[in-house]
Structure 1
């Protein structure tokens, strides 16, 4: 009989957990890469598949996100600071850390541990992390919302806006229903797929009680991941409130919100019996919207979602008060009806139909990251954006999740629409009265609201113009090449980013790489501090200006960078970074009105958290590229992917303090330097 160890966390002595590269494969950044051999049955038009193992089967037994020991957190913190600070500055920061460990910090840590013990169904970062996002008063567009671009359909005949929109909507609805019916295959990473990604494994874990199911999977070297964020994917929105926004989910709503030329349309995509509307009917409704001859809406209210959150909260209240139909609910003929704002908030998701067809990668990035704001509703959990030539992307609001659910949705929808589409080039839209079924939302607008809209368009245009973007595709080497060289592909790309900045500015700066902690219940993210003493030393060696170091020395330096980065990745994925621990203690101290210890007042603490290089990787056959705005005025936002065919970078910045085109050129040079070294040639020869 199989026995289960009564453990509260994963055994970090396991050989898997001493290999940071495997961690990157398991947990990734801004998303999860998992094997999805489903061993399930297809069940008509409602579900993508019917999993043998229920979606929530592992949720109850997922390990609790650990709180690091305070001495370990401070050691890691000082290691990161030593890369950035001069000797005098570092000595002061070290004194602050030592005082923190033995005085105020110890009490804050104990308080955090006590709180955590009372909340076993969540994690210690959940409340502070949600609160950080929802209290942030900056606009969500550019600042928070990222985008991910779908790979084109391999069959050019399906790269038609109407066809792709219909197929994407159908698969999106099927994904939603599959998850809500508890039939979506759970997210599981299979370390040994031949052993665990099997029907036998699924039958075995299905029989286990939910309270121990995780440990049964772990016995197979399979690692279930947290799926709590999926509940916020559909029928979800962020509502602006003064001081702190609100996340709202209404699973009863059955309608889809469609936007085109700044106009808003609704139609039910789920019928009264809870079934998905047939594909030819959905196609007919979308065609009706695409054929609507109305010109661009000069008073498109979507641009209001680009405002500062307090400003938007004020304007939204005025918008709701401007007309009875505008409200969240109104009373008519003896019953309460959903008003326009409630209908927008509760919609399944937003389908955005753009009339533009941007051609080059930079224009595509701009369209999917920000557009002009008039044909967007950035507050919704996600928007599915489809251009005139059927280029497709997801733009999602970030407070509710970290891309875990979005990437799974993304992969499933792309797979189904490219292999089993519902409508085809010869499909005829249903003969239905779309003019009677599709509802057009005509918000009542007074002169003041029209002025707000005009001002929002102008200010948003200025913000978007202040952002610059550039793109790099690189083909000299790829993921498999780096694996063959026994290097972590992610560590090499992170080193290339460090080297590019060093080439441009001659220094090392605070760097953030996102790492999911979905191996734990209600885990969010941890930071990989990828600017290390090893990368700084290797940059200086490559850029020494002459052949002072042999190819062997440079190769060894790259290997050292890979080793330390793998270690940091492992620690971050296991909740053993320093960022979230210090952040949570600071959050609760501020909540309690406790004077902050000197560590938090140290200018070095503020500096290391002003992220100059914000980086994130996302790799999937379904993904062309993803991107996000730089998080500081003097920094870069770097989205990247290293695949078996290519390496891709999507970079943003705010001139004039930085120059993204120069940075991308430096990235290309850095990759060339890495390639030369790995080919046994000196980059300066």
Structure 2
């Protein structure tokens, strides 16, 4: 009785000290603490009624493919491609399309792309860092008392668990894209939806111009690990786990964060356990054999190492019971690993993206990385899901930790020193082979990272306000700038990748947009003409508008499942399943070139994010993370030093921004002058 009373007092003190809660409003077992949201609509309310991802018409796919390859092939290559595509459309393509439709009809519970896409990810043998796992860096806390590493980590843990518990209890708000949030993101909309039959709920929502999104990926956010296997990995889910994996200086620990009934432990308890873990680690040397390095290895190499490692029953138990099943991974970095420097963020970004890999477990669905200065990032394994689910989680926990953090620098904690049942050091057994395997993986990753170049650009003259003022699509302007920058720097046009979510459909994943178009090519060629041959500002502006129109249509097509990449991918996969020869379309130079994505882009347009990065997808390519915010446009470009010239591209990108902004301003000035004359 006395212990319970003391415990409640500590919780109340913690809440008062952090100035974020009225301690009398709830207990730690109450909904207010246990759930981040208590939605009136169950989380999966719309899932049953979501439309199925359509398979595009074969004729349309062929047309779209030809339009996409035209800017990047010669006239002769294009003419040849047209012939091959027409033969494909009238021949083997029709047969494969019919078989794909038949297979899709027999699997109405999912989408035609879902399983092949999982297989594609899991069968690839390349290392996860740089090749697949992206990095997203959250904005820092502006209040110093919440930015300290252990404080921010504790709040991130609690908010993550509140998100997870809401999801498990079906209390997390369904993911809905509101065309006009002020009119529909409200209780009135939810009341109408609550009386709509589940079989038709999605279509009822459409009447409000509110579009429900697939949420099947959310169940894999927590308690999911990618397990290396020879030939093809597997995903293992442990939704009932009550602990997280914590890494510091390569040492590995697990820490209970839920009690035996599945409730989130109190803030003072979680803070106390994390502090005791850090104190315990301070008594140890950095890991002499940092096992996590192996998760950066080529997948078959890691699979072989893991098979040997778990031949020890102790290792097998610890790895499977503690690591694989953990809800997520928390990586606590030290000063040596770097801190955030706004004037030069690249050293820290490189470390967070892949770095030395000694303090990472890249196989977890989600890893929270908290630097010594409190900078918090997410590094996530990509096979299980895409950006929609990750960004939702990221936005929710950022808002939760900043609006209502549960602990601060002055919060009392419940001591946990010596509590080995709740804070556990993973004392693995290593033999000479495992030591050698870790050393080899470390050396390979270090070699790759030494060859990785990263360049950044912040451009304040272009921002959301600029685009809105001139009636332009921010994304189309950014993509046009990339095409102009590459053409200026390297005198050619190349395969370019932009991802678009198809989560408006059941088990949708992504579709590829191809931002290098005949419209962008025409503009680039026009604007690069000598001054005496230059078109007027008005004519160039009309070409920018044309680029924006084409880009907008590509976006709409992709979002509605009417791209061509996934369809062609599925037809190729069908041929493989049927044991048929690879159709000649897939052997054309055009197909190879469009799928050799030298410019791979991903937008990071969230107000919770300050940076994001990923590796190039081909050896001589650019990994281009970009955003256009209220105050600036920005880009982070990764390249391999001996393969591509990232600094030249970034310099050219700044010049491209200058050029496009100048065209827009000149055109606007000319329009104003004409209006003044008319008046």
Structures share a fold, TM > 0.5? Answer: yes
CA apart distance, 1:547? 4.2
Q: Would you say 1:326 and 2:315 are equivalent positions?
A: yes
The one of 345, 368, 374 aligned to 1:384: 368
CA apart distance, 1:343? 1.4
The one of 228, 235, 248 aligned to 1:240: 228
The one of 197, 203, 215 aligned to 1:227: 215
Q: Would you say 1:345 and 2:324 are equivalent positions?
A: yes
Instruction: Tell me which residue corresponds to 1:308.
Output: 298
3-state SS of the aligned residue for 1:458?
A: helix
For residues 417-466 of structure 1, the C-alpha deviation after alignment (integer angstroms, 9 at most, x for no partner) is 00100001210221233543311001100011101111111111001111
Q: Would you say 1:75 and 2:56 are equivalent positions?
A: no
Instruction: Tell me which residue corresponds to 2:338.
Output: 357
The one of 127, 130, 145 aligned to 2:115: 127
Instruction: Tell me which residue corresponds to 2:665.
Output: 679
Distance 1:634 1:184 in 2: 42
CA apart distance, 1:515? 0.3
Distance 2:61 2:438 in 1: 47
Residues 276 and 415, structure 2, Cα contact 8 Å, conserved in 1: no
Instruction: Tell me which residue corresponds to 2:459.
Output: 474
Distance 2:204 2:478 in 1: 36
Does the C-alpha gap of structure 1 residues 575 and 603 become closer, same or farther in structure 2, counting only changes over 3 Å?
same
Instruction: Tell me which residue corresponds to 2:245.
Output: 257
Q: After superposition, where does 1:363-442 map in structure 2 within 5 Å?
A: 363-436=347-420, 437-442=422-427
3-state SS of the aligned residue for 1:50?
A: coil
CA-atom RMSD in angstroms: 1.4
Distance 2:510 2:191 in 1: 31
Residues 284 and 434, structure 1, Cα contact 8 Å, conserved in 2: no
Q: After superposition, where does 1:46-65 map in structure 2 within 5 Å?
A: 46-65=34-53
CA apart distance, 1:289? 2.3
Q: After superposition, where does 1:271-670 map in structure 2 within 5 Å?
A: 271-291=259-279, 292-293=281-282, 294-321=284-311, 323-327=312-316, 329=317, 339-355=318-334, 356-358=337-339, 359=341, 360-436=344-420, 437-548=422-533, 549-670=535-656
Q: After superposition, where does 1:141-290 map in structure 2 within 5 Å?
A: 141-290=129-278
Distance 1:171 1:209 in 2: 32
Instruction: Tell me which residue corresponds to 1:91.
Output: 79
CA apart distance, 1:648? 1.4
3-state SS of the aligned residue for 2:288?
A: coil
Distance 1:340 1:309 in 2: 17
Distance 2:246 2:59 in 1: 52
> What are structure 2's unaligned runs of at least 5 residues?
1-29, 670-679
> What are structure 1's unaligned runs of at least 5 residues?
1-41, 330-338
Residues 541 and 667, structure 2, Cα contact 8 Å, conserved in 1: no
3-state SS of the aligned residue for 2:531?
A: coil
CA apart distance, 1:467? 1.1
Residues 260 and 353, structure 1, Cα contact 8 Å, conserved in 2: yes
Residues 229 and 404, structure 1, Cα contact 8 Å, conserved in 2: no
Residues 676 and 682, structure 1, Cα contact 8 Å, conserved in 2: no
Q: How many pairs are equivalent?
A: 631
CA apart distance, 1:298? 2.1
For residues 240-282 of structure 1, the C-alpha deviation after alignment (integer angstroms, 9 at most, x for no partner) is 0111100110112111100000000111111001110111111
The one of 97, 117, 124 aligned to 1:136: 124
For residues 510-544 of structure 1, the C-alpha deviation after alignment (integer angstroms, 9 at most, x for no partner) is 00000000100000000110000111111111222
3-state SS of the aligned residue for 1:638?
A: strand
Residues 494 and 593, structure 2, Cα contact 8 Å, conserved in 1: no
For residues 388-413 of structure 1, the C-alpha deviation after alignment (integer angstroms, 9 at most, x for no partner) is 00011000000001121111110000
CA apart distance, 1:682? 12
For residues 121-162 of structure 1, the C-alpha deviation after alignment (integer angstroms, 9 at most, x for no partner) is 110000110010000010111100001100111223311101
Single out whichever of 133-142 and 278-287 deviates more from structure 2.
278-287
Question: Which structure has more helix as a fraction of its residues?
Answer: 2
Single out whichever of 186-195 and 63-72 deviates more from structure 2.
186-195
Distance 1:383 1:545 in 2: 51
Residues 550 and 682, structure 1, Cα contact 8 Å, conserved in 2: no
3-state SS of the aligned residue for 1:679?
A: helix
Residues 513 and 530, structure 1, Cα contact 8 Å, conserved in 2: yes
Instruction: Tell me which residue corresponds to 1:336.
Output: none
Does the C-alpha gap of structure 1 residues 645 and 156 become closer, same or farther in structure 2, counting only changes over 3 Å?
farther
